[in-house]
Amino acid sequence: AGSQIQGTAGILRRSRRRKSVAIAYEPGQSDGAEPRRARWEPRDWREQLERIREMRRSRDAPVDEMGVQKCYDSSAPPQVMRYQVLLALMLSSQTKDQVTSAAMLRLRRRGLTVDTVLQMDDETLGQIIYPVGFWRNKVKYIKQTTAILKQKYGGDIPSTVEELVQLPGVGPKMAHLAMHIAWDSVAGIAVDTHVHRISNRLKWVKKETKHPEETRVALEDWLPRELWKEINWLLVGFGQQTCLPVNPRCSQCLNQDICPAAKRL
């Protein structure tokens, strides 16, 4: 009898434990579970995006003809090609595509590899890349980064955003674009001044963002991942031709009727 009582008590204890386990309901069930909140997304964004695609159909913006993806030697060995992509990105900061493209062409005529840059003195490198923005700083960063690539990566470039941003003169936008172009890997959205500006004008961010990195985090929170690679190319060209920093051409924009900023600009 004693063992029977103990067995019954054990069953009761297990029964109590089972009752305390929380049950997760699938969305749509009405068993008293609180419904899952829908993820935030901007109003009209799909239509706005489709119209931007239409405006970018001709692919004739500076980024299309002279952007970083056009600056490297596609016939070079993969390791050299990736190095040239990274160098073009470093030169492109605060610089028009036309100027970056011309500087890369001059460098490539010298045989643009890790070894040729390391053998080049600072004055010569400066003369070749001038007049890219902040060219003196870029000479220093290029030399430092190239030496690190030689010593730590065997002349190749890192294959992660985390390692790329540790290189002198390489920021998050460059790192994400390097992953896209050099490694064909989508690790995040590359946000430059055009993407930052247009995302705020279209209200593609919940709250106004002050810096490109804030915009990147805000966009990645809701924009479907399959669009991450395309969005930089689309918005950069759109920003170069239509949604200009000053005096945007709203009258020529297909989004004029659904752009929150159109009437105020």
Report, as residue numbers or ranges, the catalytic residues.
173
**Helix (H, G, I), strand (E, B), or coil: what is residue 108?**
helix
The secondary structure of residue 187, as a DSSP letter, is -
Q: What is the C-alpha to C-alpha distance for residues 128 and 118, in angstroms, rounded to an integer?
A: 14
Structure tokens that stand for 176 in this block: 């994400």
Q: Give every CB contact of residue 240 below 8 A, 6+ residues apart in sequence.
A: 61, 62, 63, 194
94 conformational bin, left if phi > 0, alpha if psi -120 to 50, beta if neither: left
Give the span between the Cα atoms of 180 and 159, in whole angstroms: 10
Instruction: Give the residue ranges of DSSP H helices in 35-131.
Output: 45-55, 62-66, 78-92, 97-109, 114-119, 122-129
Contact status, residue 55 vs residue 242, Cβ threshold 8 Å: yes
Give alpha helix (H) positions in the chain.
2-19, 45-55, 62-66, 78-92, 97-109, 114-119, 122-129, 135-152, 161-164, 172-181, 193-201, 212-220, 228-241
* Helix pair angle (172-181, 228-241), 10° resolution: 110
Task: Name the burial class of residue 183, with classes exposed (0-12), middle (13-18) and buried (19+) by CB atoms within 10 angstroms of its CB.
Answer: middle
Structure tokens of 119? 């053998």
